[in-house]
């Protein structure tokens, strides 16, 4: 799903708006719809809203959110910048969300996307040996989580260990020394 | 850019003074570059034109202390103070890079009272591109 979103972002990047007009006059004349209209269909409905913000009609803003949600519900939450819209993780902030919860949500999303792991891996070049080791470690981790067989294997190992221990205990001589030896000391 | 950006080194605290007086921008984007050794916080408008920036280094920290989360927090606080005077209410956060500054800056922004729309992670990921530098043998 992350790849899909990046793909759609890539598409919008591929069809940039044709020409940037110099600072547009405040009462916006009906501009010709940009060529990426095929992707974001009801965008030309949004242009009359744009003169509320002072942005050119390239960023669909969510501040007149009630109106835009009526116009096109799917665009209500979007705030895409046409120039750069590729990202790894996006978290939409709700109203009055407690700080810790927001942070945790963000951190969880980032961990799911594996951003920091990737960064650390790409920091220095890894040779083929390192790569193989890392891949086998990752595979082991993945398989360990999925295969319940490995759990029973571990149980068997534990059982074997316990029996071994019992054998040792049985070999010891637990009898008390005889009374004769005891009395002699006193 | 229409005009050249003046050199940073001559100014205190990394404030770029703009020639025409501060435009009122209710909405902006906060870019955070959190590397292992430093954190740079830049505030731009929605189109990407920089309004002001600050970093752990410009806040007076030096060396290894720049990479700490506290330094990131002070850098963020610095920027937000500047920008709140210009009347920014809503913001988006774009976080780039691994580093301890990621969470700290988020916390500072949250506490400052600026409303957030989105938090995005825009760490650049090569699709197996250039060869990274060699391993360190420390």
Which residue, B101, B13, B26, is CA-closest to B53?
A: B13
Contacts of A79 in chain B (CB under 8 A): 92, 117-118
Query: Which of B138 and A25 is assigned the larger pLDDT?
Result: B138
Q: Note the pLDDT tens digit of each residue in B120-131.
A: 999 999 999 999
Q: Note the pLDDT tens digit of each residue in B2-34.
A: 566 655 555 555 555 555 556 778 889 999 999
C-beta of residue B52 within 8 angstroms of C-beta of residue B116: no
Q: Note the pLDDT tens digit of each residue in B63-117.
A: 999 999 999 999 999 999 888 888 888 899 999 999 999 999 999 999 888 889 9
Chain B residue at shortest CA distance from A105: B119
SS (H, E, C) A22-50: CCCCCCCCCCCCCHHHHCCCCHHHHHHHH
Chain B residue at shortest CA distance from A89: B121
A59, A103, A109 member nearest B107 (Cβ): A103
Domain positions in chain A are 89-144
Tokens matching residue A67 = 């109106």
Does the pTM exceed 0.80?
A: no
- Write down the mean pLDDT value for chain B: 85
Reply yes or no on whether the pLDDT at B59 is more than 70: yes
Chain B residue at shortest CA distance from A116: B98
Q: Quick one: DSSP state of residue A94?
A: P
pLDDT at res. A63: 46
Tokens matching residue B124 = 């650049």
User: Please, what sign has the CA dihedral across residues A79, A2, A17, B45?
Assistant: positive
| Longest pairwise C-alpha distance within chain A | 119
Average pLDDT of the segment spanning B48-64: 92
Q: Give the 3-state secondary structure of residue B39.
A: strand
- Distance between CA atoms of residues A164 and A157, nearest Å: 11
- Distance between CA atoms of residues A106 and A88, nearest Å: 12
pLDDT at res. A174: 81
Looking at CA atoms only, how far is residue B45 from chain A in angstroms? 9
- Distance between CA atoms of residues A133 and A90, nearest Å: 32
Helix (H) / strand (E) element for A14: namely helix A2-14
pLDDT tens digits in sequence order for chain A, 186 residues long: 555 555 555 555 555 544 444 444 444 444 444 444 444 444 444 444 444 444 444 444 444 445 545 555 655 555 545 555 788 888 888 888 888 899 999 999 999 999 999 999 999 999 999 999 999 999 999 898 887 665 555 555 555 656 555 566 677 788 887 766 656 665
Best mutation target among A98, A110, A127, A131 (most B Cβ atoms within 10 Å) is A110
pLDDT at res. A146: 80
**What is the interface size between A and B, counted as CB pairs within 8 Å?**
91
Tally the residues of chain A. Answer: 186
Looking at CA atoms only, how far is residue B12 from chain A in angstroms? 31
Q: Any idea which residue has 């979103």 for tokens?
A: A5
Q: Any idea which residue has 């068997």 for tokens?
A: A156
Contacts of A58 in chain B (CB under 8 A): 47
């Amino acid at each position: 799903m992350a790849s899909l979103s990046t793909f759609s972002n890539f598409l919008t990047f591929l069809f940039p708006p044709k020409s940037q007009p110099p600072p547009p006059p405040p009462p916006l004349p009906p501009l010709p719809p940009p060529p990426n209209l095929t992707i974001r269909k009801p965008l030309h409905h949004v242009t009359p809203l744009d003169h509320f913000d002072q942005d050119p009609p390239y960023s669909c803003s969510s501040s007149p959110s009630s109106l835009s949600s009526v116009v096109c519900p799917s665009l209500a939450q979007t705030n895409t910048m046409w120039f750069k819209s590729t990202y790894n993780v996006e978290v939409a902030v709700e109203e009055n969300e407690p700080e810790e919860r927001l942070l945790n949500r963000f951190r969880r999303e980032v961990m799911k996307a594996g951003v920091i792991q990737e960064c650390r891996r790409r920091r220095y070049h890894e040779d083929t040996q390192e790569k193989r080791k890392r891949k086998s470690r990752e595979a082991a981790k993945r398989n360990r989580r999925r295969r319940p067989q490995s759990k029973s294997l571990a149980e068997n190992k534990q059982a074997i260990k316990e029996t071994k221990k019992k054998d040792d205990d049985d070999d010891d001589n637990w009898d008390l020394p005889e009374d004769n030896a005891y009395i002699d000391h006193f | 850019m229409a005009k050249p950006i003046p050199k940073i080194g001559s100014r205190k605290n990394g404030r770029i003074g703009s020639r025409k007086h501060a435009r009122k921008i209710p909405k902006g984007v906060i870019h955070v570059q959190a590397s292992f050794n430093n954190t740079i916080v830049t505030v731009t408008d929605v189109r990407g034109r920089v309004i002001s920036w600050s970093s752990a280094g410009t806040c007076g920290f030096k060396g290894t202390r720049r990479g700490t989360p506290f330094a990131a927090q002070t850098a963020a606080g610095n920027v937000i103070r500047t920008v709140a005077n210009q009347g920014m209410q809503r913001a988006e956060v774009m976080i780039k890079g691994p580093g301890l500054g990621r969470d700290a800056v988020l916390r500072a922004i949250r506490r400052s009272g600026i409303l957030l729309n989105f938090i995005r992670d825009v760490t650049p990921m090569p699709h197996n591109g250039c060869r990274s530098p060699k391993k360190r043998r420390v």
